[in-house]
Structure 1
Amino acid sequence: MKIFIDSADLDEIKQACEWGIIDGATTNPSLIKKAVEKRAEKNSMEDYIKEILKTVPGPVSLEVIAVKADEMVAQAKLLYEKFSPYGEVVIKIPVNPSLSEGDHLDFDGLRAIKQLSREGIPVNCTLIMTPEQAILAAKAGAKYVSPFAGRIDDYIRMRMGMKIGVDYKKEDYFDYSLLCRIWDLKLNEQIAKCGSILDACKSQEIRKLDQTIHDNGIISGVDLIARIVRIFRIYGFKAQVIASSIRNARQVREVAEVGADIVTMPFEVLREMIRHPKTLEGIRDFMADVIPQYKEIFEHR
């Protein structure tokens, strides 16, 4: 499994690359803008992006900002031609760029992906929320597909009536197994009120309860990744799955367990992955137990 850093902060990127674990990076215009403003330097946006590409030892995803197919293709070519001399550029295209119903742009992302793939420009299809979208992106020729695990967790929480910042923090792990146990208890209560299995199946309250804990059968962000990976392997799709919108280290482990090709994560999640209280305790114990004779080996060279 490859690890990408989801950041445009050059200091974070350089530090993570020095650790020897980074295979690529994903960015977006908002991340780049925030990073440039943080540095408070006079570097142009173009120079800043070039510096990122020179630093990262692998693909760097740069995003278009148009929503129409022809405009996305034009912007993609501009980004690719301008920045590919400095590193491995991949173009991010949204799977569905439609801004509202009736604008007839639902399939423009796929049209752009098809055109760019024909011309040899690698595409990372972003904002994927369903396996169905991932299938279409792979069929259109995307080199990478990026399903958003954290946002699906947020969406399911929202359907349950939970609010981010009130009922949970963005970085909190979404414990779906706990949710299932609670749901089973509630479901059993509702079934007990019904006179028969048929009545339970017809119960609108039970149906409503069932609909709140999944998104069209997807029970979590990790489940979304797992289903896409499974489908791609069944049919031999060449597109690589980038597990995106990752919020915590446990989520990284779980998407690794289900076979994600790549995980892209913020700098803080990378830092979280290395930490454990017993590791800290162990290193302190080892250092305290070093005897003088052993220490002398390193002092007299």
Structure 2
Amino acid sequence: MPAGTKLDQLKAMTTVVADTGDIDAIRRLQPVDCTTNPTLVLKAVALPAYEGVVADAVRWGASLSGAREGAIKAVADRLAVAVGTELSRLVPGRVSTEVDADLSFDTAATVETARTIIKAYAANGVDREKILIKIAGTWEGIRAAEILQREGIDTNVTLIFDKAQALACADAKAFLISPFVGRILDWYVKAEGRTFEPEEDPGVLSVREIYRYYKSHGIKTVVMAASFRSTGEVEALAGCDRVTVSPALLDQLAADTGALPQKLDATSVGEKPARIDLDEKAFRWAMNQNPMATEKLAEGIRQFAKDLEALRALVAGRLGA
């Protein structure tokens, strides 16, 4: 007989991360870590639980001198850290906070923003060991992650769609990567006009390939599969280092008492793949040769930037009230 629900079984072999800023959902599901992005922060600040947080940030922003645009950005950044601070009190592990998407191709600005985020958390009484700085998996973003890791600031390199990104992150000694399972599937469903079972799901297969390479070569970077479209995808990656899953899918797993077999095991990954050395030219060529990865990385950055602008517009409206 299976030991508890599928969620219970998953937690026994994989670190489960909640892909949400919803305090009530986190209290109910009790994940180890939380991850946020501009989309989730935008949703979170609309919840009643964050009314006081938003009001405090707006009052602080109204007291700032200088250009209005600078105050708007500062308040939006403060809100992201405020949401992360609340989440850090609910989970025993880490909270990921994202650097602005419009800095995805600026290494220096990404590094400086990450340092500012860490200082803001420290001012709220949250140690850097509780935080992951979330950075888009561009070449410039990965270089920023390399610098931050040397400074003792752990990073979560997100929007991973190609093995080349994972290899570059390993070389940079990023703490964690987030391969986007569901978005890879979305592209192939549209491109090929058919559905995929979990065992042939291109997103699942991509994560498995990265996991196998990392474990075979003793790479310490954590593989955290993200962007799931179904519980079938989650189950197909049971045993992965971490999975970040929406509350809706976690609830489905919590309601299912069937057996959940382990699919990934660091001690049994099969034949060791050849080691690959990757410089900037090789990275850019690999991305160029993968239309799915190129399109989905650009699309993801655009979407995060759009939601960041929406968050700033919300702030602008409140500051003008």
Rg larger for: 1
Structure 1 unaligned blocks of 5 or more: 97-106, 163-167, 169-173, 181-218, 280-301
Are the equivalent residues in 1 in contact too, given 2:108–2:144 (CA < 8 A)? yes
1:31-70 matches, within 5 Å, as: 31-39=40-48, 41-44=51-54, 45=79, 46-65=81-100, 66-67=103-104, 68-70=106-108
1:173-252 matches, within 5 Å, as: 174-175=196-197, 220-252=202-234
Q: Matched residue of 1:156: which SS?
A: helix
Q: Which deviations, in whole Å up to 9, do the C-alpha atoms of 1:240-292 show, x marking residues without a partner?
A: 10010112222111111xx410011000111000224889xxxxxxxxxxxxx
Are the equivalent residues in 2 in contact too, given 1:3–1:23 (CA < 8 A)? yes
1:32-111 matches, within 5 Å, as: 32-39=41-48, 41-44=51-54, 45=79, 46-65=81-100, 66-67=103-104, 68-84=106-122, 85-86=125-126, 88-96=130-138, 107-111=139-143
Are the equivalent residues in 2 in contact too, given 1:9–1:32 (CA < 8 A)? no
Percent identity, aligned pairs only, is 32
Structure 1 residue 228: Cα displacement: 0.3
1: distance between equivalents of 2:82 and 2:115? 18
Q: Which deviations, in whole Å up to 9, do the C-alpha atoms of 1:5-49 show, x marking residues without a partner?
A: 0101122112222xxxx1101110110111111327132324333
1:220 corresponds to which letter in structure 2?
Answer: P
2: distance between equivalents of 1:53 and 1:235? 32
1: distance between equivalents of 2:21 and 2:197? 30
Structure 1 residue 108: Cα displacement: 0.8
Are the equivalent residues in 1 in contact too, given 2:44–2:83 (CA < 8 A)? no
Question: Corresponding residue for 1:113?
Answer: 145
1:37 corresponds to which letter in structure 2?
Answer: A
Structure 2 unaligned blocks of 5 or more: 1-13, 55-78, 260-321
Q: Which runs of 4+ in 1 moved over 3 A?
A: 276-279
Question: Corresponding residue for 2:26?
Answer: 13
Are the equivalent residues in 1 in contact too, given 2:182–2:203 (CA < 8 A)? yes
- Select the structure with the greater relative contact order (CA < 8 A; seq sep ≥ 6): 2
2:53 corresponds to which letter in structure 1?
Answer: N
1:133-212 matches, within 5 Å, as: 133-161=165-193, 174-175=196-197
2: distance between equivalents of 1:83 and 1:155? 37
TM score, norm. by length of structure 1: 0.66
TM score, norm. by length of structure 2: 0.62
2: distance between equivalents of 1:15 and 1:75? 32
2: distance between equivalents of 1:251 and 1:161? 19
Structure 1 residue 129: Cα displacement: 0.3
Are the equivalent residues in 1 in contact too, given 2:84–2:95 (CA < 8 A)? no
2:85 corresponds to which letter in structure 1?
Answer: K
Is 1:274 the counterpart of 2:250? The answer is no
Question: Corresponding residue for 1:207?
Answer: none
1:232 corresponds to which letter in structure 2?
Answer: Y
Coordinate RMSD, CA, aligned: 2.1
Q: Matched residue of 1:42: which SS?
A: helix
Q: Matched residue of 1:61: which SS?
A: strand
2: distance between equivalents of 1:221 and 1:109? 22
Q: Which deviations, in whole Å up to 9, do the C-alpha atoms of 1:173-197 show, x marking residues without a partner?
A: x4266xx8xxxxxxxxxxxxxxxxx
Relative to structure 1, is the Cα distance of residues 250 and 81 closer, same or farther in structure 2, using a 3 angstrom cutoff? same
